[in-house]
Structure 1
Amino acid sequence: MPVAYLPRLIDDLLVRRLAHHPAVLLVGPRATGKTTTAARLARSEFRLDERAQAVAIEADPDAVLRGLAEPVLIDEWQIVPDVLRAVKRAVDADPRPGRFVITGSVRGDVDVPTWPGTGRLLRVAMFGLTVGEIRGSLPPVSLLDRLAEHGIEPLTTPPTEQLDLRGYAELAAEGGFPHPVLRLPGDERGPWLESYLDQLLTRDVAMLATHRDPQLLRRYLESCALNTAGITDHRTIYDTAGVAKVTGEAYDRLLRNLLVIDTLPAWWTNRIKRLVRVPKRYLVDPSLALATLRVGIPGLMKDGDLLGRIIDTFVVAQLRAQLATCETQPRLYHLRQEKGQHEIDVIVEYGGGRVFAIEIKAGSAPTRDDARHLAWLRTELGDRFIGGAVLHTGPRAFRLGDDIVAAPIATLWS
């Protein structure tokens, strides 16, 4: 029996983009629901992971695309990259809005000096399901936009859903891939994720790299998973994986291009001295990190370091998915001073250098000491500091000082 469509955060944004622009490129990790979402807007479809359709496009993309009912969905463009040049020619000849919606599971400008999408394709990022999408509680205004306008107030209302540490760990382990979350029982999600990893490390990788060792690449991905949500220099990652520097750098580029690894850049301002500029590396979905490490809930609950990293990865996944839809155009960073004197998990930067800062704690009862880095940043930035939050696994929201609140992680969606 077909599963009813689950509304996504970017639905309205895609409709608006296609109403005013000739082509939209929907980019995100494989199996995050891009095709299902894009197909709702299309009148014609080409799914390039079906060999017969790929062969037709390869033979003469201009002729195949000509005269189709629009918008035309071109799914997984990276399988036949020349299709983008045909789209470019079509859009140059007739720039009417709403002609093409294109999906892909690799970065759209991967290793191409003159990418044909420049100036023609509006890119929209799409990630896995957020808890709000799964619960069907999509707010009319994104949380990040509300924080920009109202400071900490949106986080002071008690959430409608109360979870403890194990409950958050279980949500993180479920992840955001629609098929296992919505259609599979819990004991079948692990095999699905293992199959996902196998395809990622073999077939998907083969599209972008001719020389690779799946076993070494898996070890490299395991090292990244072990260090998810970490401010770890690249050498530590490839040393842990047991690969050479050149190989490690190539694997890092490859996994970034496949949208499996993401980073929070280091935040910088000339108002604060000795800020470290090393990015914070994440796997894009916490369930993928756990599947890579072959760790279930019992093992996770016994490993405090990994548990903290997975909770951090889970929270950032909830925030990252909002970015494309935000009117305020926020950017996510992290902050760290040399020797760890001060560090903050997430810096949400808005226009004009205004900042909302977030600490993520696996504990259930944060104190003022847990907010000391937020208080320090408030002093350093003055009126550019919008507010700060310590997100935790307990049930209550309460203030920890002026413009600083302790709030349950569940306030991100409820």
Structure 2
Amino acid sequence: MGFEEMWADLAPIGRSATSGGYFRQPWTSTDAELRAWFAEQAGARDLHVEPDLVGNLVAWWQPPAAEGPAVLTGSHLDSVLDGGAFDGPLGVVSAFAAVDLLRSRGFVPTRPIGVAAFVEEEGSRFGLACLGSRLATGATTWEQARDLRDRDGVRLRDAVEAAGFGVADDPTWRGLFDGRIGCYVELHVEQGRDLVDRGAAVGVASGIWPHGRYRFDFTGEANHAGTTRMEDRRDPMLSYAMTALAANKQARLADARATFGRVHVEPNGTNAVPSRVTAWLDARADTEEEVASLVDAVTRQATERAGRDGTTLEVTAESVSGLVSFDPDLAARIAADHAEGDWPIIPTAAGHDAGILSAAGVPTAMLFVRNPTGVSHSPEEHAATADCLVGVSALADTLERLAS
């Protein structure tokens, strides 16, 4: 089954009939369908699938003579809420297609090649981005993660067990990648327009901006929307509204990124002043110091506004990732000497499992496939089939170099 056939086979899973976007949440029935698709593709290629205790998957291509540290590729299959088709799945489908292309060339790896599908990369259910790869590398322990709760109050431990996996309650377990991976290469749709501006179908990542998710809890006093005078209110919605505007201004001044994309209101009534507003800030910048400065500035303004509104504020850092600089020698090797010329080497402001493996000491690289609109985390996310096939070829070339 070639790239286009695999893509068509995967496309209906988790797709909304109304928006056309995807709701591929981890440890759900949709996730089970995705894992079944992964197992089917691996089986069709005689690749042995090895799951770990939380649902990370690796399909191994390991001929008898292949030995030594493995070359890992792949990405993730989960999505943000109402997300696009390409973010994550493109890397998994391309990895299987690259194996097919290498075999058609008669290539036999001397090092094992693994195709990975990491679980909960987006953090859209349990709030911690790249949770699967964090657990697999030991960056986050099971003891730290097991009591995380989703929007419905379901604990991570219970969701994992209900999906047929089980960590028991062993805080010492390490994922199935521990000590076995020599390098990792992740192909991903570009989440921006850099490659469009450069006129290139494929690029190579230089690094990932530092970024974090911060929960802002504004607490006030519930009251009647009609009978409570404006000057008598302790309205946390006002505190939040000013904070969202402040985040926008501070990010623009610093040439950074600040987004409040998720808000929860209590009691969430049309005719009631809310008692509590919880909002999540996504902050990103070129350096860790700039991220910290951005969050500090927003927090300071939010606190001052809360004081004027008679509300209170508590800020909690839920997920923070530092600057990732990918192996420059590996990036240069991948980018050079292609028939189309050298691929451009570009940074990204989006987080990826590749960043987690890099931070764990695994030599890591990323390939990006051009996104004509630059839109991502949206049903409008797209990559042309012709560019995807160039990406498959680039990934196959890379795996051939690394696994020879």
TM (normalized to structure 1)? 0.24
Higher strand share: 2
TM (normalized to structure 2)? 0.24
Task: Name which structure has the greater RCO, CA cutoff 8 Å, separation 6+.
Answer: 2
